[in-house]
Amino acid sequence: MKFENAKIKMLDLDLKGCVYLNHLSQSQRIALFFKTISRLGDGPFWYVMLLSVWTMQGLAYGLNILYLVVMGSIGTLIYKFLKNKTTRPRPYQVHQVIVLGERPLDHFSFPSGHTLHAVMVTITLGYIQPLLLILMLPFTILVALSRMVLGLHYPSDVIVGAIIGASVASTIILLAPSFNVIL
């Protein structure tokens, strides 16, 4: 019984956070800003960061880029597995007060793939080239916020996506031999 009450309170808090952040999208400027952030988070921003690392560090860091590709694939497999197992509907599909601000890339909400990949790439590229964290950290936070402002995810989707992304990045950094030579 206590577990059920805690679960209901958690779901209620999750919805309240989503509704609060989604309410920000009523402003056309804010909605457009977060829609742009979300689209850049689909890949273009991260490709520029990858190119920056490669340019700043030289071709010798090509192996680390390969690790990033492997890491991205692992993150994607985890994310797709969880999406298909949990099949949590997106907030806008369940709650009429949530306004959809951007077309989703897939059907389910849990976890946030955008956040997972943003955190994963930020940690890894930040490890290789800490100077880029000046751009990547704020952008990663904005990507995470965009998912809720646009009505695509609950806060718990974003938090779990960030935890998975950080876990995958940390594992790759610890296990990949060339990452340990960087510093």
Percent of the chain with pLDDT over 90: 48
Per-residue pLDDT, 177: 63
How confident is the model over 30-39, as a mean pLDDT?
95
How confident is the model over 110-134, as a mean pLDDT?
92
How confident is the model over 106-119, as a mean pLDDT?
92
Per-residue pLDDT, 70: 82
Per-residue pLDDT, 176: 73
Within 8 A by CB and 6+ apart from 35, the residues are: 101, 102, 146, 150
- How do residues 74-91 score in pLDDT, each as one tens digit? 988 998 999 999 999 999
Average pLDDT, the chain: 87
What domains can be seen in the chain, in order of their start residue?
A: 2-182 (1.20.144)
Which pLDDT band, with edges at 50, 70 and 90, does 60 fall under? low
Per-residue pLDDT, 51: 84
Per-residue pLDDT, 183: 39
How confident is the model over 106-120, as a mean pLDDT?
92
How confident is the model over 105-131, as a mean pLDDT?
90
